[in-house]
């Protein structure tokens, strides 16, 4: 780091600290427990305990091409292409395959990667791919209800979880809390 970069870094530091609120594990626990408060009034959503199993043809009919490729064939969308990167409203991110709520807007953060990123999840909604011995640094996760591939989790997220759930935008469907159009 040269002198100029160092001075710039110092100048930027207070702003960055402000942009990322400091959370404790207790806050994360509260965020996970209160996820239903992010649903629009009267919304009914499925639970991980009601599995959705469809044939390949049925999935093809149900999902747009790009979502099918990611969810059912473990593809990855091009970075920076998802409109959900800029989604800032309060609400729920649900699986685009089966509607299972997987994240809330409060769990989202700007990772700078070009994919919607989250530092934790709604509890019990993902299965990790079994053939990894270690969960980190890179582990693939799937929707517990429909088995759809969503993304990978890394250990370079913000504290206190240090998790970065790097999710394909096309695997998600945003449900705004105020009931407006997604
Ligand atoms: Zn699903």
* CA 175 to ligand 1 center in whole angstroms: 15
Q: What is the DSSP letter of 48?
A: T
Q: Whole-angstrom Cα distance, residue 179 to residue 182? A: 8
pLDDT at residue number 10:
46
Which residues lie at CB < 5 A from ion ligand 1? 95, 97-98, 100, 143, 145-146, 148
pLDDT at residue number 2:
52
pLDDT at residue number 18:
47
pLDDT at residue number 181:
79
Supply φ then ψ for residue 103, to 5 degrees.
Answer: -140, 160
Q: List the structure tokens of 34.
A: 């209160």
Cis peptide before 88 (omega within 30 of 0): no
**Side-chain half-sphere CA neighbours of 132 within 13 A:** 13
* CA 53 to ligand 1 center in whole angstroms: 10
* CA 102 to ligand 1 center in whole angstroms: 9
Residue 166 designated active-site: yes
Work out the number of other CB atoms within 10 angstroms of the CB of residue 180: 9
pLDDT at residue number 112:
97
pLDDT at residue number 82:
98
pLDDT at residue number 19:
56
Q: Whole-angstrom Cα distance, residue 169 to residue 17? A: 27
- pLDDT tens for the chain, 182 residues long, are 455 544 444 444 444 444 567 899 999 999 999 999 999 999 999 999 999 999 999 999 999 999 999 999 999 999 999 999 999 999 999 999 999 999 999 999 999 999 999 999 999 999 988 555 555 446 899 999 999 999 999 999 999 999 999 999 999 999 999 988 77
Q: Whole-angstrom Cα distance, residue 143 to residue 22? A: 29
pLDDT at residue number 8:
47
């Amino acid at each position: 780091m040269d002198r100029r970069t160092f001075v710039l870094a110092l100048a930027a530091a207070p702003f960055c600290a402000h942009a990322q609120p400091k959370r404790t594990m207790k806050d994360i626990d509260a965020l996970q427990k209160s996820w239903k408060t992010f649903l629009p009034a009267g919304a009914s959503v499925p639970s991980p305990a009601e599995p959705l199993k469809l044939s390949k043809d049925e999935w093809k009919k149900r999902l747009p091409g790009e979502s099918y490729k990611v969810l059912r064939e473990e593809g990855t969308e091009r970075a920076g292409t998802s409109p959900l990167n800029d989604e800032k409203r309060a609400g729920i991110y649900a699986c685009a395959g089966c509607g299972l709520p997987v994240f809330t807007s409060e769990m989202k953060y700007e990772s700078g990667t070009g994919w919607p990123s989250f530092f934790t999840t709604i509890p019990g909604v993902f299965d990790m791919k079994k053939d990894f011995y270690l969960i980190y640094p890179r582990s693939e996760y799937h929707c517990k209800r429909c088995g759809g591939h969503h993304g990978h989790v890394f250990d370079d997220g913000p504290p206190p979880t240090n998790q970065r759930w790097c999710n394909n935008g096309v695997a998600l469907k945003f449900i705004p809390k105020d009931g407006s159009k997604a």
